[in-house]
Amino acid sequence: MKLFSLTYNELVKQFKKPSIKLLSILILVAAIIFPIAINSIPENRYYKSTMESNKFLLQDAELYLESLKDDKTQKGKIKFEYAMINIEARKLYVENEVGHRDWREKEIENYRNVSSNLAAIEFVLEGYEKDIVLENLQNDDSNEVEKYFNMTLAKKKEIESNFIAEKEKIKNIILNNDYIAHTQEEINRTNSQIAQLNSCISEYEKLMKKNPTDEAGKSKLLELEKKSKDAKIRIPQLQQDMEVMKFRFDNKIDYDLNNWKNNSIQQIENELIELRNPMLDEKQYSSQASLEGVEMTYDEYVKNFNKKREVTINQIKELWYGLENNITVLNQIKDARSVLDGGYEIFVVLAVIMVIIIGGGIVATEYSKGTIRLLLIRPVSRWKILLSKLLAVLIVGIGVVFIGIATLYISTGVVFGFETYKTPLLDTISGSIVHLSYIKFLLSKIMISCSSLVFIATLVFLISTVAKNTALAVAISMMLYLGAVPATDMLISLKQTWIISTFIPYINVSYLRLIPSTQQMLSQSFGMQLEYTQGAIQLILISIVMLLITFITFIRRDVKN
Confidence (pLDDT) at 561? 47
Q: What DSSP string runs through 409-477?
A: HHHHHHHH-GGGGGSPEEEEETTEEEEE-HHHHHHHHHHHHHHHHHHHHHHHHHHHHHT--HHHHHHHH
DSSP β-bridge partners for residue 429: 432
In whole angstroms, give the CA distance from residue 449 to residue 400.
13
In whole angstroms, give the CA distance from residue 199 to residue 195.
6
Q: How does pLDDT run across 479-536, given as a tens digit for each residue?
A: 999 999 999 989 888 878 889 889 999 999 999 888 888 888 887 777 778 889 999 9
Closest CA to 462 of 381, 373, 545, 398: 545
Q: What DSSP string runs through 358-427?
A: HHHHHTHHHHHHTTHHHHHTSSS-HHHHHHHHHHHHHHHHHHHHHHHHHHHHHHHHHHH-GGGGGSPEEE
Which positions ≥6 away from 147 have C-beta within 8 Å? none
In whole angstroms, give the CA distance from residue 268 to residue 329.
12
In whole angstroms, give the CA distance from residue 208 to residue 117.
34
Amino acid at 428: T
In whole angstroms, give the CA distance from residue 535 to residue 480.
16
HSE, CB side, 13 Å, CA atoms: give it for residue 467.
17
Q: What are phi and psi of 149, to 5 degrees?
A: -65, -20
Confidence (pLDDT) at 1? 59
Q: Is the dihedral of CA 16, 19, 25, 27 positive or negative?
A: negative
Q: What are phi and psi of 30, to 5 degrees?
A: -60, -40
Contacts 24+ apart (CB under 8 A), 522-528: 522/492, 522/497, 523/308, 525/292, 525/294, 525/492, 526/294, 526/296, 526/301, 526/304, 526/497, 527/301, 527/304, 527/305, 527/307, 527/308, 528/304, 528/308, 528/497, 528/500
Structural contact between residues 71 and 90, judged by C-beta atoms closer than 8 angstroms? no
Compute how many other C-beta atoms are within 10 angstroms of the C-beta atom of residue 257: 18
Q: What are phi and psi of 159, to 5 degrees?
A: -65, -45
Global pTM reads 0.82
In whole angstroms, give the CA distance from residue 542 to residue 202.
65
Burial of 63 (0-12, 13-18, 19+ CB in 10 A): exposed
Closest CA to 256 of 189, 177, 323: 177
Mark the ranges of the chain whose per-residue pLDDT is less than 50. 561
In whole angstroms, give the CA distance from residue 440 to residue 501.
27
SS3 of residue 316 by DSSP: helix
In whole angstroms, give the CA distance from residue 73 to residue 70.
9
